Structure 1
Amino acid sequence: MRFRRFLHNPAVTADEMVCHACHGTAARVAGREIVVAQDTSELALGGRRARASGYGPVGKGGALGGLLLHAAIALEIGTGALLGLVDATIWNRDTGAVTPRRSRATEDKESQRWLDTTTCASEVLAAANSITVLSDRESDFYEHFARRPTNTHLIVRACQNRKIKDAEEADALLFTFIDDLPEADRYSVKIPAAPGRKARAAELALRFSSVKLCKPLHGAAPDLPASVTLTLVDVREVSPLEDGEPVHWRLLTTHTVTNTAEARRIVDLYRMRWSIEEFFRTLKTAGFDIEKADIGDPQVMIKFVAAATVATVTVMQLVKAREGTTDRQLADAFEPDDQPILEALSAKLEGQTARQKNPHPKGSLAFAAWVIARLGGWDGYYGKPGPKTMRWGLDDFQRIKFGTTLRLQDV
């Protein structure tokens, strides 16, 4: 009931929840090399009943009703540590008629979210040593590159076979141009397992070149420059594949690339984009099952999604910190008053054997991850605690924390 009142309180807004979380992220990125992974996911909340409650169309054909969430998270280059939320926008689609895409300015399209999040990242993470924003093929449009903030680099998976300015051909196309270049390098990588995909070793062929994209003839704002100079890094899997699709990424980046080591680094940075997929999976099936929420009012559901988004980041921070390799501190995900509670719980939960002892230093996020995982049902012996275990453990921790605030006169 208290949570229901919280969500229905008109003074509580999704923007304020997101802003508070991003403020904490800003304090953690100072002096660090940061990548920002951003993406959009549809939250399907039902069919006819959801549409009748005012939820806009999502999914193929628009038969389902729901919301959309565009989120961005900050990750540290090198350790892969999740430092926090950078931006989150939740909206309910208008069910009215939509004018043709080319007749609308970018600010009137959903595409504007990619520019807004990139701008937000440049402001929230201003204290970082470097900022590189990663995004998939949906963000491949000219204005995204032309209007990027000066303190922010982009790596975008190319979708459109754009016209480029080439000294040898008047009408060169981006994909044809890179396909005709000789391989610059071949190297082997391990591709980890993912839902629907087994882990495998892959041999990759690498090509790269500076390219000059031409301004589109239709739909581009008149004040945009006639061309934008970028680097195209093409990486494709050439080893035999038993099943599934081979890796083939054409990556457009504002980073300068002059050798194979720098080209490989662009590929490695883009691989960190997988964290945003893990984020949405945790928010949905692997952690919170948010699409099962039965909230009839779309505006209240937007607040609930914002709260769950912040909580999902905390769960992911704990999962990433469980090995003790990210060197992150307790303050990344917990309040200062939480430390003595976590230390008391650790002492209570430890067993007699070495594997039942908390191996991590006090004050570290890994120390907290061990405690939360044990509260969530992990026995310390088998497997690694995942998002669901961490979520259950956080639920128990919050109840225990509330219990520490009780006094006899409150009963």
Structure 2
Amino acid sequence: MVLRETVCLRRLAEGNHSQEIRFGRFLGNDAVTVDRIIEGWSDQTRLAVEGRHILALQDTSEIKFATSEDHRRDLGRIKKGNCRGMLLHPMLALDAERGSCPGLVGGRVWTRGDDELPPHADRLLSEKESRRWVETAEAAKPVLARASMVTFIADRESDFYVMWARVPDGAFHVLTRVMHDRALLSGTTLRRAVQDQAFSDTQVIELRERADRPARRAELCLRFGEATIRRPGNLREADLPKGVTLRWVIETAAPADVEPLHWLLLTTHAVATPAQAWQIVDWYKQRWVIEQFFRVMKSQGLKIEDSQLQSASRLEKLVAIAAKAAIIVMQLVQARNGQDDQQASLAFTPNEIDTLAALEKRFKGKTRLQANPYPKNSLAWAAWIIAKLGGWNGYASSRPPGPVTFYNGLAYFRACADGWALRDVYMP
């Protein structure tokens, strides 16, 4: 998938019908399970996180597939209306200092059933979809055990009491955006307590482009403090404390013609100074990376929603495999700056690395500035070659290569790698 930039079985097989049949049989094999594929997501990640502070980003994306009234492909409802598809809930590891992505940590892929469920308040967490936030974080702890510290980061949907009461533990912290106005043990509410706090600092930050918002600069006003949120009275779980003490950070500002940016963040990290509060804001901003991951899965990359597989069980497996491919594409894009020491073997086979070494000779410049500056067989070394194949000129003064350049380079490299693999077959 990485080399061919597609999830279409016919295109993956490149016209080889027997190979296409093999791919289909693999996805249809009952011994091949979604859970086992997801276990494989973290094979390299658990070693790559050693000694680092890891931002563990998790979120949910709805993946829509084309269906008809007569043929729903065994898919459940998503979004509003009559949309059918499945849900992908991954967790990505991100180096808090460098911003590089060691890989996927874990997650879930599932299809909703059509059964009518009891009211949300009448169910235990184990009977709700929201359990994915807690279960994914708990399952991540052994995978991330070698990290020096872990901060689980998520958007507002993960703001519920069980998450705060169960997940934080020693070096494992939580940071999320507030959805609900929490009751505090002091007798007031979280938002009232925030309003009583004076602003302590201002700062201008760069906001990345999103689907619903262009990139812009924002001048932010900062407040921070500490509060103990009270256990909700309607919780059915009996093993939770009466209160959880958290630190909050809030900033608000916006130009007159745009929607105000208003983040109220809760975290288990210590926040005693403006510098520490701004650090919390910076870490939360990195949540954008998982949005980019979903774009690589969908419209800007593998186009997973175009798959024509006819059963939900096969589509679930395909989505799980595509998630691993998407993270490798992202790692190649990130490796262009050479700030990490990951190896090319993370994304390429030994034969493909040999092909890269042969292709590198084409780009040997007359000066040191025109040569590949990265250690041989590193992921940055491979990314430099792929970017050159995609049309990047290699000069430091040029704009860094983006996803489109890498896709073009991978397409060119695929043809070269196929030819290189045939040298021992047809050459005397």
TM-score > 0.5 by shorter chain: yes
Moved more, 46-55 or 212-221: 46-55
Q: Distance in 2 between the 1:389 and 1:17 partners?
A: 29
Worse-superposed segment, 277-286 or 217-226: 217-226
Q: Which whole-Å CA distance do the structure 2 matches of 1:123 and 1:79 have between them?
A: 23
Show the counterpart of 1:255.
Answer: 269
Does the 8 Å CA contact 1:319/1:387 hold for their aligned counterparts? yes
Q: CA, structure 1 residues 257+149, in 2 after alignment: closer, same or farther (shift >3 Å)?
A: closer
Instruction: Give the alignment partner of residue 193 of structure 1, picking from 193, 202, 209.
Output: 209
Residue 177 of structure 2 is aligned to residue 157 of structure 1? yes
1:181 and 2:197 aligned: yes
Deviation at 1:351, TM superposition (A): 6.5
Q: Whole-Å Cα distance in 2 between the matches of residues 34 and 209 of structure 1?
A: 24
Deviation at 1:222, TM superposition (A): 1.7
Q: Is residue 146 of structure 1 aligned with residue 165 of structure 2?
A: yes
Specify the code of the residue in structure 2 equivalent to 1:342: L
Cα separation, 2, equivalents of 1:355 and 1:110: 53
SS in 2 for 1:204: strand
Deviation at 1:363, TM superposition (A): 2.7
The alignment status of 1:308 with 2:348, answered yes or no, reads no
CA contact (8 A) 1:51 1:65 kept: no
Deviation at 1:247, TM superposition (A): 1.6
After superposition, give the CA deviation of every residue in 1:115-150 in whole Å (9 maximum; x if it has no partner).
Answer: 011112211010000000100000000000111151
Deviations 1:86-117 (A, max 9, x none): 11311000111121101111111110100011
Shift in CA distance, 53/200, structure 1 to aligned 2, threshold 3 Å:
closer
Cross-structure match for 1:216:
232
Cα distance in 1 for residues equivalent to 2:106 and 2:213: 30
Match of 2:17 in 1: none
Unaligned runs of 5+ in 2: 1-19
8 A contact 1:80–1:326 mirrored in 2: no
Q: Is structure 2 residue 407 aligned with structure 1 residue 387?
A: no
Matched with 1:284 is 298
* Offset at residue 386 of structure 1 (A): 2.7
Closer/same/farther in 2, CA of residues 231 and 387 from structure 1, 3 Å limit: same
* Equivalent residue, structure 1, for 2:8: none
Contact 1:50 1:65 in 2 (8 A): no
Is 1:136 equivalent to 2:152 in the alignment? no
Residues 197-206 or 216-225, more deviating: 197-206
Query: For the structure 1 residues 16 and 376, does the alpha-carbon distance in structure 2 shift closer, same or farther, using more than 3 Å as the test?
Result: farther
> Distance between the aligned counterparts of 2:290 and 2:141, measured in 1?
18
Quick check: 1:225 aligned with 2:241? Answer: yes
Residue 395 (structure 1) shift = 5.1
When normalised by structure 1's length, the TM-score is: 0.90
Report the Cα offset of residue 375 of structure 1: 3.8
- Partner-residue secondary structure (3-state), 1:82: coil
Unaligned stretches of 5+ in structure 1?
none
**Is 27-36 or 187-196 further displaced after alignment?**
187-196
**What TM-score comes out, normalization by structure 2 length?**
0.87
**C-alpha distance in structure 2 between counterparts of 1:217 and 1:345, whole Å:** 65
Instruction: Say whether the 8 Å CA contact 2:38–2:320 is kept in structure 1.
Output: yes
Contact 2:89–2:109 (CA under 8 A) maintained in structure 1: yes
Instruction: Letter of the 1:59 partner, please give it.
Output: K
In structure 2, relative to structure 1, the CA distance for the partners of 1:8 and 1:387 (3 Å cut) is farther
RMSD: 2.5
| Pair 1:274 & 2:288 matched | yes
Q: How do residues 5-404 of structure 1 correspond to structure 2 at under 5 angstroms?
A: 5-48=25-68, 52-61=72-81, 63-150=82-169, 151-166=171-186, 170=187, 172-237=188-253, 240-335=254-349, 338-348=352-362, 357-376=371-390, 378=392, 380=394, 383-394=399-410, 396-397=412-413, 400-401=416-417, 403-404=419-420
User: Are the aligned partners of 1:361 and 1:367 in contact in 2 as well (CA < 8 Å)?
Assistant: yes
Contact conserved, 2:185 with 2:230, CA < 8 A, in 1? yes
